[in-house]
Amino acid sequence: MKKSMLVIICLLTLALGGCKEDQKKPESEVATEVEVMEVVSRNTISTTKDISMTLHHSVKDQDLYLECIITPNFKFKENSKTKKDGEGQVVVYVDNKKWGSFAKGAFILKGVPKGEHKLTVKLLHNDESEYGIEQSIQVEI
């Protein structure tokens, strides 16, 4: 009797477990019509400190999404002119022309002209002197 009851419970569990409604996929898995290309660049390490920078980017239409991961113990700081190790900002160059300075790790360059471009990201102290860390990549818009 116990074996029959156990078999019936197992069969019911299997039958009910297979009758689930289709679940929606997370947005990150849903296909879109926009092609996004992501590239992870190599680390660049400073000769003066153990600070390193990794650059991630993706392209969507004419916008370039950038993420700068700077480790260890680095803080982005804006509106400060006092040089302090471990603090600062990044400056971005597109085709050797300054695009802008950013005091955060993730940002968007909007309206980049179509074509192939050389993108250079440099790490700066608060007083705008260079750490000696920079990353250059080629991007296609």
- Please give the Cα distance from 55 to 49 (Å, whole number): 18
Q: What percent of the chain has pLDDT over 70?
A: 67
Question: Rounded CA gap, 106 and 98, in Å?
Answer: 17
First to last CA, the chain: 70
Rounded to an integer, what distance in angstroms lies between the CA atom of residue 59 and that of residue 97?
19
pLDDT at 84 over 70: yes
The pair of structure tokens assigned to 66 is: 């950038």
- Beta strand spans in the chain (E): 37-40, 44-45, 52-60, 63-71, 75-76, 87-94, 97-102, 106-109, 116-124, 130-140
Distance CA 72, CA 87 (A): 11
Please state the pTM of the whole predicted model.
0.67
pLDDT at 10 over 50: yes
pLDDT tens digits along 19-43: 555 545 444 444 444 444 444 444 5
pLDDT at position 46, please?
A: 52
Give me 131's structure tokens: 């750490």
Element containing residue 46 per DSSP (H, E): none
| Domain annotation for the chain: domains and CATH numbers | 38-140 (2.60.40.10)
Q: Encoding tokens for residue 12?
A: 């019911």
